[in-house]
Amino acid sequence: MIRKILVANRGEIAVRVMRSCREMGIQSVAVFSEADRSAMHVRYADEACFIGPSPSSESYLNIDKIMDAAVKSGADAIHPGYGFLSENAEFARRVAEAGLIFIGPSPDAILAMGDKLTARKIMMDAGVSVVPGTRDLIEDEDKLKETADSIGYPIMIKASAGGGGKGMRLVREESELVSSYRRARSEAGSAFGNDVVYMEKYIESPHHIEFQVMADEHGNTVHLFERECSVQRRHQKVIEETPSPLMTPELRAKMGEQAVAAAQSVNYVGAGTVEFLVDNDHNFYFLEMNTRLQVEHPITERVTGVDLVKTQIMVANGEELPFKQEELTQTGHAIECRIYAEDPKNNFMPSPGLVKHITEPLGLGVRTDGYVYEGYEIPIYYDPMISKLIVWAQTRGEAIERMKRALYEYKISGVKNTIPFLKRIMEAEDFASGNYDTHFIEKNPEVLEIPSDCNQECEDMALFIAYLDYTEKMKKLVSEPTEVEKHASSPWKEFARRKSVLRL
C-alpha cells in the first residue's frame, strides 16, 4: 500500500503530482535544491528534504541524494515527473533495489526504448509500422551509398542514443552523404558516449502525433487517444491539442492499436507515450516511445476525464486499470499552451528573475498548471517553462476562442514570457483551419512578429516614475522635512497629472 510518495522533481510537475497525492490521501515529500528553498513544490508538500546545490547535476540528477531523502523520509514510492531522472533505467533499478516502488515502467522497458535503434527493431518485430530505413546500425562506409540508394533521398541519419531531435542529420543528396555520416557519428560519440547511428527515409512535412498509453501489471493495456504536437520551435513543443485536426476514426483505430502493440512488446507498465510521424496521406510511422508522464498530459485528462497521475499511482500499487478500452471516450476539444519565461522578441532568450505580478486566467473550461507566485524569483538553473494553460470547449473553434480569452486574462510582469507569441499563433489562419504540420512556424513567420505591448510599456514607465518620485522624496526628507509634509497632503493630484502626461 502506497502511503507516502517522494516526488523527485520540481516546478509545475512536482505540484501536479502532489495534487493527486492529496486527493488520494497519500503523503507527499518534496526534494529541493539551494535555489528552490522558497519554491511552490516545497510549500505544497507535507514534508521537504534538502538535496544540495542549485545545479541539477548536484541535486535533482543526483541518484544517491534522492535515494537518501526517500529512505530518511520513509517514503514507499518515488514519482519521477518528467525530465531529470524520469527516463533513467539506473535510477528505476536503484529505487527497486531499495525496496521502494518506482512509479513508472521497468528498467528493462526504459532501456529498450531509450536506445532508439533497439526500440526500432522491437517495433519491427511486433508488426508496428516504422519509418522505412535500416534495421541495424551502419558500422562502416562500405555500404553507406548502397543503403542510402535503397532507401531513396532525402534520408536522415539518426543517433541511436539521441531522440527528441538530438543527434539527427538530414541528407538531401549523395554528395553530402559521407561527410554527414562522419559528423553524425563523431557528434553522437561526444554528446552521448555512443556513436551508433542508423538511417531512415526523410518524411518531408509530417505531423507529430502521439498516443497516450496506460498499462497495468495484470496484462491490461489501453490507449487514451492522440495528442497533436506539431506546433514546435527548435524541437520544443509550443502548443498541443486533442483530438488532432488530421485524425479520422479509421486512422485513430489503426494508430491506437499499434500504440498498444508497441507498449505490450516491452511488457510496459504505467503511463507511456508512443510518438508517430504522420504524413498528409495518413501514412504513419513509429518514431519513439517516451517512458514517462508527458508535459502535455492534461489535454488527455480533459477530454477523457481520467486523472493520469492517479492512475499511475494505482497501477504502481499493483491495482488493475479502472477502465477498459471500450469505456474510454473523447469528449470535446482541449488545447494546451506552454508558457516559458523567455523573450519572444529577443530570440526566446531565457528571462529568469522576480515575478512582480501574476494574474492567472479563470472561468469556464480553463485550467492552469503552474508553480509561480507573486514575489517568486524564477531561478536560472532549470527549464524556463513556468506554466501550462489548458482550455476545454465542446468544439475546436470554441476552444480556440476560449484560449484567446484566457491568454488575454493572463498577466505576468517582471519576467518576459511567451504569452504574446501564443496569442499570435491563436490568430494565425493555418492554426484556425487546423491545416498545419511540424513546419508551422517556418511557414507562418508572422507569428514571430510580436507587437509592442502598450500596457506593458506604461506599466514599466509607471514603475520608473514611481521610483524617481520616491528618490526625490527621500532627498527632500533628508534636507527639508517640512516640504515633504506639504507635498504629501495631495499625492493623488500629482499622480493624475503624471498619468495624463503618459497618455500623450
The 438-457 contact track toward ligand MV4, x by CB under 6 A, reads: x-------------------
Q: Is 357 in the site for ligand MV4 (CB under 6 A)?
A: no
Integer-rounded Cα Rg, in Å, for the chain is: 25
Nearer of residues 15 and 337 to ligand MV4, judged by Cβ: 337
Residue 386 near residue 370, CB atoms below 8 Å: yes
Applying the rule CB under 6 A, the residues between 110 and 139 that interact with ligand MV4 are 131
Closest distance of CB 287 from ligand MV4, Å: 5
Q: Compose the 364-403 pattern: x for residues touching ligand MV4 by CB under 6 A, - for all others.
A: ----------------------------------------
Omega of the bond prior to 243 within 30 degrees of 0, cis?
yes
Quick one: 54 or 194, whose CB is closer to ligand MV4?
Answer: 194
Q: Of 22, 1, 18, which Cα lies nearest the Cα of 10?
A: 18
Nearer to ligand MV4, 89 or 131 (CB): 131
Class of residue 445 by CB neighbours under 10 A (exposed 0-12, middle 13-18, buried 19+): exposed
Q: Is residue 235 close enough to count as binding ligand MV4 by CB under 6 A? A: yes
Q: Near ligand MV4 by CB under 6 A, which window of 89-97, 159-167, 451-459, 480-488?
A: 159-167
Binding mask 288-327 for ligand MV4 (x = CB under 6 A): x---------------------------------------
With CB under 6 A as the contact rule, which of the stretches 55-63, 163-171, 173-181, 384-392 interacts with ligand MV4? Answer: 163-171
- Applying CB under 6 A, among 127, 152, 165, 397 the residue interacting with ligand MV4 is 165
CB of 155 to ligand MV4, least distance (A): 8
Task: Give SS3 for 193.
Answer: coil
The C-alpha cell at 490 is 495631495
Min dist. Cβ of residue 400 to ligand MV4 (A):
21
Name the residue among 257, 259, 283, 254 with its Cα closest to residue 273: 259
* Region class of 456: left (phi > 0), else alpha (psi between -120 and 50), else beta: alpha
Known catalytic membership, residue 292: yes
- Taking the least distance from each CB to ligand MV4, the nearer of 288 and 369 is 288
Active site residue: 292, 302, 338, 424, which one?
292
Contacting ligand MV4 within 468-497 (CB under 6 A): none
Burial of 500 (0-12, 13-18, 19+ CB in 10 A): exposed
E-strand stretches of 325-426: 333-340, 342-343, 349-350, 353-354, 357-359, 366-370, 377-378, 385-393, 411-413
344 CB-near residues (< 8 Å, 6+ apart): 416, 418, 420, 421, 448, 450
CA distance 163 to 115: 9
HEC per residue, 438-485 = CCHHHHCHHHHCCCCCHHHHHHHHHHHHHHHHHHHHHHHHHHCHHHHH
The contact mask relative to ligand MV4 for 175-214 (x = CB under 6 A, - = no) is -------------------------xxxx--x-x------
Q: How far is the CB of 131 from ligand MV4 (least distance, A)?
A: 4
Which residues bind to ligand MV4, rule: CB under 6 A? 131, 156, 163-165, 200-203, 206, 208, 232, 235, 277, 287-288, 438
Positions annotated as catalytic residues are: 292
